[in-house]
Amino acid sequence: DPTGGFVNYISQSAATSKGLAKVVNGQVWLGADSTNKVSTSSQGRDSVRLESVDSFTYGLLIADMAHMPGNACGIWPAYWTYNFDEDPYGEIDIVEGVMNQPNNIVSLHSCGACSFNFNNQPGTDPRSNCNLGGESNGCPETDNTNYDGCGNTGPSGSYGDKFNAAGGGIYATEVTASSLKIWYFPRASIPADITAGKPDPTKWPAPFLDAEQSNGGCNVGKFYKKQSIIINITFCGASIDQDTWDSASTCKSKASSCKAFVANNPSAFSEAYWLFNYIQLYQK
């Protein structure tokens, strides 16, 4: 796991045989093991990580999720895109959260100067600087490395248990040469044009993330091209270090460390699965 997680990503054949990757009534189910205890000295809990064979540069990516991994101590799921092909890299974290986080955190990462003005947008807690290198023009791993990136926090119900309780919903991501936008639609508020298979973003409400090149100066077309789609569920790792674990009193009371909890509490991850109705890419 490139994020240092306590996870054992298994092969397609192993995931299929163990029931961690399957099709159920036309829906794609992708999850982590919630049955077996594992040793803290092992690679970690069995899980899945999918990467698309093809990449896309511009287009409208729509994911209809009936369920995403629920809130749990130690969990770190993500649905995201990444440029594996070249520098400067660009990463779009469409759905990401850790442990009992209430709302989705959307982030953009770049290797080089890139910032946006996200003020006056529907999301909360906007972050403007996308450059992994912080204030530098590159992205060296230093004490000033900006792992948070830029982005915004989604509305209530956009992540975890609350998302699932509402029947899931849709995340739509539009990438053009000059802008990057992300919408979240709860199940009860999905636009009719999406349901009809003819999505028209010009008719939708304002996105909760609207990254415009004209509003900050970041070269969207340079950084956010050749994006591969990634779906994964990891545990612990870089986003849940010991300090993070110690500060989460509910989780800390259950185990001394993230790794110890994840290893010994498989039933805590009964909701650790994605259930996709579809992922579709529209391009002109």
For residue 227, give every residue at least 6 positions away whose Cβ sits within 8 Å of its Cβ, in sequence order, or none. Answer: 55, 56, 57, 81, 82, 83, 90, 92, 175
- Residue pair 1/234 in contact by the 8 Å Cβ criterion: yes
Of the candidates 274, 236, 278, which has an alpha carbon nearest to the alpha carbon of residue 21? 274
Which burial class, exposed, middle or buried, applies to 214 when counting CB atoms under 10 A from its CB (0-12, 13-18, 19+)? Answer: exposed
Using the Cα atoms of residue 259, residue 264, residue 270 and residue 273 in order, give the sign of their dihedral: positive
H or E element in which residue 76 lies: strand 75-82
Backbone angles phi, psi at 154, to 5 degrees: -75, 170
91 catalytic residue (yes or no): yes
With H, G, I as helix, E, B as strand and everything else as coil, classify residue 29.
Answer: strand
Structure tokens at 204: 């939708």
Q: What are 90's strand-pairing partners?
A: 110
Backbone angles phi, psi at 169, to 5 degrees: 170, -160
With H, G, I as helix, E, B as strand and everything else as coil, classify residue 104.
Answer: coil
Q: Exactly one of 51, 86, 91, 271 is catalytic; name it.
A: 91
Q: Exactly one of 51, 86, 96, 212 is catalytic; name it.
A: 96
Which residues are known to be catalytic? 91, 96
